[in-house]
Structure 1
Amino acid sequence: MILELVVPGRGSLVSSAPPSYKGHRYPVEIIAHCVWLYFRFPLSFREVEELLLERGVTVSHETVRRWCAKFGQTYANGLRRRRPRPGDKWHLDEVFVRINGEPKYLWRAVDADGNVLDILVQGRRDKAAARRFFRKLLKKTRAVPRVVITDKLRSYGAAHREVMPSVEHRSHKGLNNRAENSHQPTRQRERAMKGFRSVGGAQQFLSAFSGISPHFRPYRHRMPATEYRAEMITRFAIWDQVTGVAGLPTAA
């Protein structure tokens, strides 16, 4: 089934098929709800299991883990496809993370509206790492910005001159608060999960997390309660389209 949705203020008609749930004995609503709980709130798989049990649904934490691994990135991709094209001003930043006791770096790019464009976990923050992230970012977004804003890390300038020399580059720590602030939800989850165990696991989780969590985090402080509720209703409708819940028959 092909689902279509017109979202006011979010661009033109978007069409996408939801994932297949063939072979899963639990209803789509349960699977989607578990994935939403895990990526939206700082919960463990066992805590999601407990919340479902309180509602009379018996599902193991291992099953929840498999659902999140299988459908998390698919849902995140579906949400990203429904976003408007990124703005022409991109903010890039890297932050230190510890994975299995070893120092790594999480690279992140957001647009002027704070939408996460892409993330990449790497072991270094040298020119090669910056170049790799630039290229991945351009391939993922299929767009070229007018200006990129970074902190004063020299690796950005060297990689910028090589990968996107025609794009304006502003290097100023005070201008990059938008990218730095976008790390806060990740830090919250990192503490709740007591760190990441592997680079691959961190990349897999954060890639899905950066696509799902921000979808349910509009700038609430910028809008009155009625506008916020209307915005959230719209976002839940998009979620139902992405997961396939909206395509289910309703009870009479």
Structure 2
Amino acid sequence: MTTSRDPRYAGYRFPAEVITTAVWLYFRFPLSLRMVEEMLAARGITVSHETVRQWALKFGRDIVDRLRRRAPRRGDRWHLDEVVLTIAGKKHYLWRAVDRDGFVLDVLVQSRRDAKAAKRLLRKLLKKQGLAPRVMVTDKLKSYAAAKRTIMPGVEHRQHKGLNNRAENSHQPTRRRERQMKCFKSARHVQRFLSIHDPIANLFHLRRDHRPAADYRKARTQAFQVWAAVAGAPLFA
């Protein structure tokens, strides 16, 4: 194991490879902080789960900022969906947008499910993506149509539950993480976690369907190379 000279890790007790691997494990897989602590311990690295949490917050955000700058332009068909989350005994709605290939465009946690909330999501998407989509696909929630008429009147809108499986399937990793964390602590906690989790998931979103094994492995190797470049150190074995 080598110690990276990346200045982001200067002054830390552990090498950059250990820190970036802990961050990758936590956001890439549905693991608790204590599970990551134990996996590191199995490799002879003694670190507390609280330290892993601090690494995840500090370095996860920096890694994701660098990933976003490298991310290619996403597809011009947006799939939007919302799912209910119970946070501290209260209902919240996790609004999510993905492109035609299943890459997450953005998420937004809100306490409402009305047109105002839908408008807020669309404005955030337009600001981040820089241009409107060719097609917007949603379920039959009327809030989407009302928001689209105001924010993106010229965009084609397809409303059909069966057409929106891509967005609905995109909620599954969040549901797994929700169970692992025994529910999220606050709306801010969900937003902060997913704002780091989803761009990392996009990097490793390597679809296997109708794809030769050699092509999949090549794409996976490229993803690891991008991770090492943005994180400043490769993963350790």
When normalised by structure 2's length, the TM-score is: 0.92
Q: Secondary structure at the match of 1:134?
A: helix
2:62 to 71, 74, 86: 74
The aligned residue for residue 35 of structure 1 is 23
Query: 1:77, CA displacement in angstroms?
Result: 2.8
| In 2: Cα distance, 1:179 partner to 1:241 partner | 30
Note the C-alpha offset of 1:40.
Answer: 0.9
SS at 1:220's partner residue?
coil
Structure 1 counterpart SS, 2:95: strand
Question: 166, 174, 179: which is aligned to 1:186?
Answer: 174
Residue of structure 2 equivalent to 1:83: 71
Which of 190, 209, 218 pairs up with 2:197? Answer: 209
1:1-252 matches, cutoff 5 A: 20-245=8-233
Q: Which runs of 5+ in 2 are unaligned?
A: 1-5
Does structure 2 conserve the Cα–Cα contact (< 8 Å) formed by 1:19 and 1:74? Answer: no
Q: Deviations over 1:72-117 (max 9, x none)?
A: 2222232233222011111111011111221111000011111100
Return the alpha-carbon distance in structure 1 between the equivalents of residues 111 and 230 of structure 2: 33
Aligned 8 A contact 2:118 2:143 in 1: yes
Aligned to 1:186, the other structure's residue is in SS state: helix
What CA distance in whole angstroms lies between the structure 2 residues aligned with 1:236 and 1:79?
A: 12
Between stretches 165-174 and 235-244, larger displacement belongs to: 165-174
1:141 to partner: Cα distance: 1.6
Distance verdict in 2 for CA 1:38–1:166, change over 3 Å: same
State how far apart, in whole Å, the 2-side matches of 1:113 and 1:141 are. 16
Using the TM superposition, give the Cα deviation of residue 19 of structure 1 relative to its aligned residue in structure 2, in angstroms.
7.8
Equivalent in the alignment of 1:249: none
- 1:3 is matched with none
Q: Secondary structure at the match of 1:245?
A: coil
Q: Aligned partners of 1:238 and 1:228: how far apart in 2?
A: 15
- Distance in 2 between residues matched to 1:23 and 1:107, nearest whole Å: 39
Residue 6 (structure 1) aligns with: none
AA at the equivalent of 2:130 = R
TM-fit CA distance, 1:166: 1.6
Aligned amino acid, residue 75 of structure 1: I
Distance of 2:203 and 2:183 partners within structure 1 = 23
Cα deviations across residues 114-163 of structure 1 (Å, max 9, x unaligned)? Answer: 11000001101101100111111111122221111111111111111111
Distance 2:214 2:89 in 1: 45
The range that moved more, 213-222 or 54-63, is 213-222
Unaligned runs of 5+ in 1: 1-17, 247-252
Decide whether the 8 Å contact of 1:19 with 1:244 is kept in 2. Answer: no
Runs of 4+ in 1 over 6 A off after TM superposition: none
Using the size of structure 1 for normalisation, the TM-score is 0.87
Kindly tell me: are residues 181 and 100 of structure 1, through their superposed partners in 2, closer, same or farther at Cα, counting changes over 3 Å? same
Task: Read off the aligned partner of 2:150 and give its amino acid letter.
Answer: E
> Which deviates further from its counterpart, 19-28 or 55-64?
19-28
Query: Following the alignment from structure 1 to structure 2, what is the Cα–Cα distance between the partners of residues 120 and 28?
Result: 31
Q: Deviations over 1:199-229 (max 9, x none)?
A: 1011100111111123223112332222211
